[in-house]
Amino acid sequence: MRWALAAALFLALALAQTPTGAPPPDLSPEVFRIASQLRCPVCQGESAAESNAGVSQEMRRQIAEMLREGKSEAAIREYFVKRYGEWILYAPPKKGINWLLWLAPAIGLGAIGFGLWRYLAEARRREAELALSEEELKALERRLEEE
Amino acid sequence: MRRIFYLAIVAVLGGLFWWGLQRNPGELKSVLIGKPAPDFELPLLAPYRQEWGDRFRLADHLGKTPIVLNFWASWCYPACYEEAPVLQAAWERYRGRVLFFGINNQDKTSEALKFIDRFGLTFPQGYDPRGRVGIDYGMYGVPETFFIDRAGKVRYRHAGAIDAATLEAKIGEVLR
């Protein structure tokens, strides 16, 4: 009985937790979607959507205001880029030297693939070198039987 | 040949690593450098209204003297507490030649007034509870100090508490 009570209490407490990251009711999910693409300027690795720093709250408020004014998502992003630079964006724009960043995973995978291919080719070559021909095999078997 | 190839790869990666370590992640260049200072209008905190009026509009003061804009908050401890006396001393020395303007950022008025009282700040102080001007200036966090030259262009941004030597040097640059 006591165990059942404890389990029920535990379950109730677990269910009482509000899901984290749920937007407060006063701002639309759209605001949080845009804010999640922007850095919180005073945080380390947190977006303006997750952070509760004063500046992030103000950024969300400004995003909400700009949406109400009918500004596009791109225009809102541009607004913050003009003030903070591209640093504020989580996804750097695909241009210039940034391409190196975007292509880095492909370049890395390519390099690994190339290395693997070279290694396997080398291994195959060595195997072929060491492999015995039919006659050699027969000769060895004969010697084994003789002994 | 192969050994040279591997050595080159190690050297390049090592060089990148070393370069990354030399960079200070806190040192972020303002995109405003060389551009006109964004205009703003803020209500002044009570102690300054008699001398400067109810509201402060940056555009009214641009083009006359260089301007030192300082963002601060009473909750910014210890950095803002360290630099407040430094700023006040420089203001007393440069008054008339350089305008200092403090922007109280995302703070409570009562706390801001206590801070002002504690350091006897006599340069005008605006009140920005939402921190809108801070975002307009691409501010990362208080304290930050912007130096605006006579032409109204942003010349330098200092992040963190400013020391007397830096303040002196940068004022010298905008005065030139």
CB-based burial of residue B161 (10 Å sphere; 0-12 exposed, 13-18 middle, 19+ buried)? buried
Task: Determine whether the interchain pair B135/A85 forms a contact, defined as Cβ–Cβ distance below 8 Å.
Answer: no
**Is pLDDT larger for residue A20 or for residue A125?**
A125
Coil, strand, or helix at residue A83?
helix
CB-based burial of residue A7 (10 Å sphere; 0-12 exposed, 13-18 middle, 19+ buried)? exposed
Q: Which chain B residues in 111-150 lie under 8 Å from chain A, judged by CB atoms?
A: 130-132, 134-141
pLDDT of residue A135: 85
Structure tokens at A34: 């845009």
Using the structure block, give the residue that is written with the tokens 């899901």.
Answer: A19
The one-letter amino acid code at A84 reads Y
pTM (whole model) above 0.90: no
Give, for all 176 residues of chain B, the pLDDT tens digit.
Answer: 788 989 999 999 999 999 888 876 556 678 899 999 999 999 999 999 999 999 999 999 998 999 999 999 999 999 999 999 999 999 999 999 999 999 999 999 999 999 999 999 999 999 999 999 999 999 988 899 999 999 999 999 999 999 999 999 999 999 98
ipTM for the whole predicted complex goes beyond 0.85: no
CATH superfamily of B29-175: Glutaredoxin (3.40.30.10)
Convert the pLDDT of each residue in A87-97 to its tens digit: 899 888 888 88
Grade residue A12 by pLDDT with cuts at 50, 70 and 90: low
pLDDT of residue A2: 67
Chain A residues in contact with B138 by the CB 8 A cut-off are 41, 83-85
Chain B residues in contact with A55 by the CB 8 A cut-off are 106, 131, 134-135, 139, 141
A-interface mutation test, from B16, B30, B31, most A Cβ less than 10 A away: B31
The answer to whether residue A13 scores a pLDDT higher than 80 is no
Task: Determine whether the interchain pair B31/A83 forms a contact, defined as Cβ–Cβ distance below 8 Å.
Answer: yes
pLDDT of residue A27: 87
CA angle B106, B110, B115 (to 5 degrees): 80
**Is pLDDT larger for residue B16 or for residue A132?**
B16
**Nearest residue of B to residue A84 by CA position?**
B138
Chain A residues in contact with B28 by the CB 8 A cut-off are 87
The answer to whether residue A145 scores a pLDDT higher than 70 is yes
Distance of CA A43 to the CA centre of its chain: 19
The answer to whether residue A21 scores a pLDDT higher than 70 is no
Average pLDDT of chain A, as a whole number = 85
pLDDT of residue A19: 45
Task: Determine whether the interchain pair B130/A58 forms a contact, defined as Cβ–Cβ distance below 8 Å.
Answer: yes
B-interface mutation test, from A83, A87, A101, most B Cβ less than 10 A away: A83
What gap in Å lies between CA B30 and CA B166, rounded to an integer? 17
Task: Determine whether the interchain pair B135/A42 forms a contact, defined as Cβ–Cβ distance below 8 Å.
Answer: no
| Domain assignments of chain B as residue spans, ordered by start | 29-175
